[in-house]
Structure 1
């Protein structure tokens, strides 16, 4: 769940001659302690989400609240950094940022607190580090009498089926994908490592992004 704290166990594996292939999550440990990694560019995901927000709001004064992923996790760290990089120089200001632990209930609870503190009128944009927290924010906004996607714009990351449906329904405004189809590449790397072949330290799987119209075109044909 978190990037730090893997040095000892990875060193034990190396000392025992056990190859290690990392999938999805990154670690802060030295690269010589594992063979290779396959996953997504979490920083680029944050940049894509931030670029949409920067285009959508531009120089207009915009109050944003953030639903963070699990504290210390690679996706939370990198999606935050990428988004901040993309909105630099715009009128978007993060007025609050708390973790919802990547869960729908966590997103709903944190969003309820935001609404209690700032009111529906005091929030223009929600940036959720994953769809589930965004879906929780939708519930909180609707319970407070607001219209998600209109009164408060929402941008999320993942592109799971429920998130994509909310995008099609106009309750989410933009989604950046976190492509989970890593298995084939991971299996390929396992075979290569065990065969003693040279592999790179990192392999990135491609992500897409979706507007409402784009989501409507592909939602029924996606594998997840």
Structure 2
């Protein structure tokens, strides 16, 4: 598996910023090119693929209505959305903290413990404590009005990671950094079609309601299945809230209502691992039900090695280097993309054992 690539619409100035980030992490400048190449930042696997690709929409501090500042002397507030029992969240927070430490930036952190009302109050508290910039991993896409009004009053730039908020880029927030979730769903569908031969009955363990990740991963999967494998029917959809325990509970119900189920698409690894637990409890054997998941955690990749999971689409949680490079470029007055997309790799039965050490 090749290291994940980052597709951005930033100018070459942001590319230079990312080169600097990688250099600080011990990478030589020659490892990164403006067109395409790969390099690893302190094991965090963030690389520049093409700083001129992407949506084309950019934002500057002047357009946002803010002011230039030196990131090294700024205070950054980071709001994590979910309990850090999920390996994705553990890796995500670790990446933010590591990059802040590498840059010598003061970092204030808060964890909403999967409670949206708490996340809103957390971010407002970060603002009160003097955060000059905000990095937010949103629990939900809607309901951010109070935070956006508080940040706007102080002209505090916001970068969101891994989930979008329903607001206006370069007005309410600066940039979104995350995966192409529709494409993740499409790639998961491709793996499911291969695993099942394109025939049978499939269930979807949906992520939590109210965010773009669930909506887009579902759309990508269902549209691709409909287009490429009409013999594969989606017969069951229920939320597992991105949680292992809930994923197991839903799968237990699924086995009762649909004992002839062919495959399960879990919109994150934790729900997929919960599904594995339910299948084991029901006396199923590895491979009896094909499971495809999204994230790239070590336990899920081990599930491929053990035969319980057919494929895992990676969703890279290591946002630290790119988030801080974006903030750095923005606060120096350079153009940054409104949408910065990380290209994700995949784990299959062919590469899972060899690439297990690359999972988080």
Q: Same fold (TM over 0.5)?
A: yes
Candidates 263, 266, 275, aligned match of 1:128: 266
1:108 equivalent in alignment to 2:248: yes
Alpha-carbon offset, residue 24 of structure 1: 1.4
Deviation for aligned residue 1:59:
4.8
Secondary structure (helix, strand or coil) at the match of 1:43 reads helix
Unmatched segments (≥5 aa) in structure 2? 1-138
Aligned structure 1 segments of 4 or more residues deviating by more than 4 angstroms: none
Q: Identify if the C-alpha distance between structure 1 residues 212 and 59 changes in structure 2 by more than 3 Å, giving closer, same or farther.
A: closer
Pair 1:49-2:188 in alignment? yes
1:117-196 paired onto structure 2 within 5 Å: 117-119=257-259, 122-148=260-286, 150-196=287-333
Unaligned runs of 5+ in 1: none
Query: Equivalents in 2 of 1:72, 1:92: separation in Å?
Result: 27
Q: TM-score, normalised on structure 1?
A: 0.93
Does structure 1 residue 219 correspond to structure 2 residue 356?
Answer: yes
- Tell me the secondary structure at the aligned position of residue 39 of structure 1: strand
Number of residue pairs aligned between Structure 1 and Structure 2 = 219
Q: Indicate the structure (1 or 2) with the bigger Cα radius of gyration.
A: 2
Q: Distance in 1 between matches of 2:198 and 2:158?
A: 47
1:14 aligns with one of 152, 176, 196: 152
RMSD of the TM alignment (CA)? 1.4
Q: Pairwise mapping of residues 52-91 of structure 1 onto structure 2 (< 5 A)?
A: 52-60=191-199, 62-89=200-227, 90=229, 91=231
Which range moves more in the overlay, 1-10 or 179-188? 1-10
The one-character-per-residue Cα deviations of 1:68-104 (angstroms, maximum 9, x if unpaired) are 1111122211100110111114211111111111111
When structure 1 is superposed on structure 2, of 23-32 and 75-84 the one drifting more is 23-32
Q: TM (normalized to structure 2)?
A: 0.59
CA deviations over 1:180-222 (Å, ceiling 9, x no partner): 11110001011112222211101111200111121111112x1
> CA separation in 1, counterparts of 2:241 and 2:322?
28
Matched with 1:25 is 163
Aligned-pair CA distance for 1:14: 2.1
CA distance in structure 2 between the aligned counterparts of 1:204 and 1:15, rounded to whole angstroms: 29
2:232 to 86, 92, 116: 92
Contact 1:182–1:205 (CA<8 Å) still a contact in 2?
A: no
Q: Return the alpha-carbon distance in structure 1 between the equivalents of residues 299 and 190 of structure 2.
A: 23
* Counterpart in the other structure of 1:210: 347
After TM superposition, the structure 1 stretch with the greater mean CA deviation from structure 2, 155-164 or 81-90, is 81-90
Q: Secondary structure at the match of 2:142?
A: coil
Q: 1:223 to 1:113 in 2, by over 3 A?
A: closer
How far apart, in 1, do the equivalents of 2:235 and 2:305 lie? 28
SS in 2 for 1:154: strand
